[in-house]
Amino acid sequence: MAESQENHTDAAMEEQHWKARLLNENHRRSLATVLRRVELAAWRLEDRLTRETSPHLALTRFTDPPDSAQRAALLRLVKHVRQEVVKLAADYRLEVAEESFVRNVMGEFTLLWCDLEDSRPQKLRRYGEMHPQAGDVLGPQIDRLIALLLAIDDVASGKQETIRTWQDAGEDSPEG
């Protein structure tokens, strides 16, 4: 009986090795990149489906939530998607990529900072004439938001002074 299980295990391992040899390193890297995106999308969907309530956002409202049957089906599908990703990763010996959480945060908020810089009143003029007071009113608000995004970058990059400032900041304090 033990010999039969060993033969079955050896056959499964040989099948995995055979599948892995079908792709070169570039093929595997490309496939792994797409599968990482699939895995992360499935994770985000599962996270959204299992939340008790939707986040209260100022500029985004999610409409048409899935009904209970859709929710159950989507959760089951997500489970199968994740299982398939695991199987493909094993079959084709795809490498696990490590992503730094804080570097990911830094990258995302740096891009948002760039976008906000393009939202300053003097830049918005390219979309047409603005009220003469718009710069005086909107400018400082954009400045505060940019300062907050830069603080997120500083905290994520480990700047101790900023970490201490925001650790000790009051809940309602926009300046820290």
pLDDT, tens digit, 9 for 90 and up, residues 76-128: 999 999 999 999 999 999 999 999 999 999 999 999 999 999 999 999 999 99
Tell me if 173 is assigned to some domain.
Answer: no
| Whether residue 63 sits in one domain with residue 21 | yes
| Whether residue 106 sits in one domain with residue 75 | no
Q: What is the pTM for the complete model shown?
A: 0.74
* Nearest to 95, CA basis, from 33, 39, 38: 33
The tokens of 114 are what?
A: 């760039």
Tell me if 131 is assigned to some domain.
Answer: yes
Range of the domain at 163: 101-168
The tokens of 131 are what?
A: 């009220």
Tell me if 18 is assigned to some domain.
Answer: yes
Q: Which of 58, 91, 124 is the last residue of a domain?
A: 91
Q: Which of 65, 91, 117 is the last residue of a domain?
A: 91
For the chain, the domain total comes to: 2
The tokens of 35 are what?
A: 């599968």
> How many angstroms separate the Cα of 52 from the Cα of each of 47, 55, 70, 73?
10, 9, 16, 17
| Whether residue 128 sits in one domain with residue 81 | no
Please say whether the beta carbons of 20 and 91 come within 8 A.
yes
SS3 assignment, position 53 = coil
Please say whether the beta carbons of 159 and 170 come within 8 A.
no
Tell me if 175 is assigned to some domain.
Answer: no
| Whether residue 138 sits in one domain with residue 84 | no
pLDDT of residue 176: 47
